[in-house]
Structure 1
Amino acid sequence: MGTLEGHLLPGVGLLLFSFYYSALTSLALLRGQKVLKHPLLPGKLRGHRLSRQVSYEAVVKVLVPTCGIIGEYFYPLGVNRVQMIDWKDPRRPFVFKDNWQHVTMFGFFILSGVVDMVSQAHLGRWGVKLERAAEALAFYVLIMLMVTHIENKSSLEIRVHLLLMIPSFFLALVLTVEVWVPNHPPIWILKCWLGLVLSSWMLQICEMYIPLTGQPWRADDPMDHAFLTIFFCWHLVLAAALFLATYGLCSLWHSHYSSWTKTPGARYQRCPMESSGEELEKLKAEALPQDEVV
């Protein structure tokens, strides 16, 4: 994960997931929903009892981290980092520390996806609390491993990862609160914003590998450290703007979709029982031939 590709995969994955959750939240707010409704897999893929109520979100939580684990072990092609201990060395040292830290992080997000699948298929509404608890655990593990991940790094890398830990911690805290206070719209919005901050900052780390200015970041330059913090503050505003843009697009879609689905005369009308019986007799006469055909 200490490469451009290693940061790009989780960054893009988190960004797409954050946009997905922002769209769900925006539509729920526009429709006045009290519960977020996650789209389920198509009926053809839900024949098995375990997967009949599984959402796209749960599947993505399993697939994307799995790709990350494969990349940690076998990318670039030809390498193999599955080994944890160098048995040839008499000291039996641990090897590939960073890769095993990343694999552990990905593994807990896979665990969160598996918990979602089992909960959605069998546990019903109360299982939502278990889903949020497993998701919060994944972020707490990420923060805990990040503390040791920044050891023996340059001062610039330490600053970058410390700033990454800030939205991760608050996102884990929000998910923890959601265990006891589920289905609360302000928490939905806060979670969307923190997810967008986290994912956009992950992409900012990717920019440090290929600087837009063409000049590499310098760990020994205090000016670079200062601007790194400034950029993080800008990402806070950028995430809010992205959520507002998502809400605006969803609002336009919702208004147009509502106007398309409205058809004249589609509203429920009460049968005129007070009128003469001629209309009722006429309706019965029209219904009899249909019954005979059936």
Structure 2
Amino acid sequence: MGSYGGHVLPGTFFIIFGVWYLIRFSAEYFKHRSKKDFNYYATFKCCGIPFSVHVIEGCVKIFFISCGTLVELFYPGAPQGALHRADGNFTHPMNWQHATMYLFFGLSGWFDIVSYMARDVVPRGLDRMAAGLALFVEGYLFYFHLDGRSIIDSRCHVLLVLAVWPCALFVFLEVFFTKNRMVTHVLQMLYTILLIFQGVWFWMVAYILYPPDHKTWDPCYTEGMPGHDNENTCSGDKEQLSHLNLMFLTMFWTWALAIVIIVVMVIYFLLYRFFKMRRTLDPSFHKSWRDEMMSLTASNKQNGMAGGLLGHVDDEDEL
């Protein structure tokens, strides 16, 4: 990950999976909102052959994670699978940390497959628990991934953790509400928003840390030196510019989150209109706004009549 491409690739992976989850979770909710016997393990048929969404997702995860792990550990310049150098000291800690992150996402893929293949044996929600664990480990390693980095670099990773850990929390909570359709859908949408946002932030971090014009965002950081040396390299205008960029960096994080939320809302609405046009919406969606208002008006009239009768009785009591 220590390059522009190393941040763009996982960012693209998270965006693709986030958009896929947005489409999948929205479709399941729009088509099966009122069904109490909703099938948690989504399946579909292609050419008459049944396929499981869980199994396909698990296989895709394992494939991409395997490619990422091989690149981190065996690509030229990587540790070639060696944990120690000849002198006995550890080597390439960043590569091993990235490979560890990939490992847990790979385990999540295997749990996706197992949760469907052994659905009569393992508890429902096992795949969500594994996904939440993978996200938690990702945030945990990124949080302790800051040694020898500039302030801008450290802030980028801390802000990434602020997107990853809430995402992990929402996935963990989903384990306990798999039979509550409404709560599950809300958690899924929150999880989807943060997953897409995480991918977008990876792209932004790639541009910030490895800008195309090679103009660093942190003028106080000297490459090859651990962190900052404010007495020698950071003073005056450089220090001011560094803090200015840091403040805008934090603000850009919130702007990116707002943009992702708006885009998700637009896609969600377009999906609703699509299923409505195809007449595949759940029957509970066919109750129009006018029906809701008529029902509310009738309820208010009944309450008003009841209140008037009670008031009339009170007046007679006073007489």
Q: Which TM-score tier does this pair reach, normalised by the shorter chain?
A: 0.7 to 0.9
Q: CA deviation at 1:22?
A: 0.6
Q: How does 1:164-183 map to 2 (within 5 A)?
A: 164-182=160-178, 183=181
The 3-state SS of whatever aligns with 1:123 is: coil
**Are residues 104 and 188 of structure 1, via their aligned partners in 2, closer, same or farther at CA, if it must alter by over 3 Å?**
same
Tell me which of 246, 256, 262 is aligned to 1:225.
Answer: 246
Q: Is the 8 A contact 2:41 2:53 kept in 1?
A: no
| Structure 2 counterparts to residues 61-210 of structure 1, below 5 A | 61-75=61-75, 77=76, 81-86=80-85, 88-89=86-87, 92-124=88-120, 127-182=123-178, 183=181, 184-210=184-210
Following superposition, the deviation at residue 169 of structure 1 comes to 0.7
SS at match of 2:91: coil
CA distance in 2, matches of 1:65, 1:40: 25
Q: Give the letter aligned to residue 228 of structure 1.
A: L
1:121-172 Cα shifts (integer Å, max 9, x gaps): 1124964321111111111211221222111111111000000001111011
Task: Report the Cα offset of residue 29 of structure 1.
Answer: 3.0
Residue 251 of structure 2 aligns to a residue whose secondary structure is: helix
- The RMSD of aligned alpha carbons is 2.7
Once the two structures are TM-superposed, the CA of residue 238 in structure 1 deviates from its matched residue by 1.2
* Percent pairwise identity: 26
Q: Does 1:250 align with 2:271?
A: yes
**SS across alignment from 1:218:** coil
The structural deviation recorded for 1:79 is 5.3
| Alpha-carbon distance between aligned partners in 2 of 1:217 and 1:26, rounded to the nearest angstrom | 39
Shift of 1:40: 5.4
Q: CA deviation at 1:104?
A: 0.4
Task: Name the structure 2 match of 1:56.
Answer: 56
Contact 2:170 2:187 in 1 (8 A): yes
Report the 3-state secondary structure (helix = DSSP H, G, I; strand = E; otherwise coil) of the residue aligned with 2:80.
coil
Deviation at 1:191, TM superposition (A): 1.0
Following the alignment from structure 1 to structure 2, what is the Cα–Cα distance between the partners of residues 95 and 44?
A: 52
> Once the 2 structures are TM-superposed, how far is the Cα of residue 28 of structure 1 from its aligned partner?
2.5
Is the contact between residue 150 and residue 218 of structure 2 (CA under 8 Å) also seen in structure 1? no
Q: Is the 8 A contact 1:139 1:171 kept in 2?
A: yes
Alpha-carbon distance in 2 for matches of 1:7, 1:53: 27
Alpha-carbon distance between aligned partners in 2 of 1:198 and 1:39, rounded to the nearest angstrom: 28
Alignment check: 8 A CA contact 2:129 2:175 kept:
yes
- Following the alignment from structure 2 to structure 1, what is the Cα–Cα distance between the partners of residues 175 and 270? 30
Q: TM-score, normalised by structure 1?
A: 0.77
Q: 1:156 to 1:174 in 2, by over 3 A?
A: same
Distance 1:188 1:240 in 2: 13
**What is the TM-score of this pair, normalised by structure 2?**
0.71
Corresponding residue number in structure 2 for 1:16? 16
Gaps of 5+ in 2: 221-241, 281-319
User: In the alignment, residue 111 of structure 1 is paired with which amino acid?
Assistant: L
Partner SS state of residue 28, structure 1: helix
Q: CA deviation at 1:81?
A: 3.2
Pair 108,223 (structure 1): closer, same or farther in 2 beyond 3 Å: same
Q: Structure 1: which 5+ runs fail to align?
A: 260-294
